[in-house]
Amino acid sequence: MQTLTSSQTLITILMIAAATILTRFLPFWIFPEKRQVPRTVLFLGKALPPAMMGLLIVYCLKSVNFTAAPFAIPEIAALAAIYFLHKWKHNSLLSIGGGTLIYVLILNANLLF
C-alpha cells in the first residue's frame, strides 16, 4: 500500500472541502429566496424521504430468515419500537435509538434462543 505525500494529502483535503462547500451552497445559488422553487423539486422533497426509509428497511431485512429461529422477532420488535416511538414523540433520534436498544437487548439477552 502506497501512502500519500504531504502535498497529495493537502490537495485531497482541499478538494473534499471544496466539494462539501459547493454541495452546501449550490441549492441556495440555484433557488434564491425570491425565485419560485420548481414543482418537481417540491415533489422530490416530499417523496424521497419515505422512499429512502422504505429502501433502508428492505435493505436491512434482506438477509433475515423468517422461517428459522428466532423468526425475525428481534427485527420485527425493533421496527415496531421505531414505529411507535416515532408516532408518539416524532423524534427521529429517539425512534432510531429506541429501536436499536430493543434490538440489541433482545439479541444480547438471548431471550429467543
Contact predicate 63/85, CB 8 Å:
no
Q: Is the pLDDT of residue 1 over 90?
A: no
pTM of the model: 0.63
Q: What is the pLDDT of residues 24-64, one digit of tens each?
A: 999 899 989 888 989 999 999 999 999 999 999 999 999 99
C-alpha 79/C-alpha 60 separation (Å) is 11
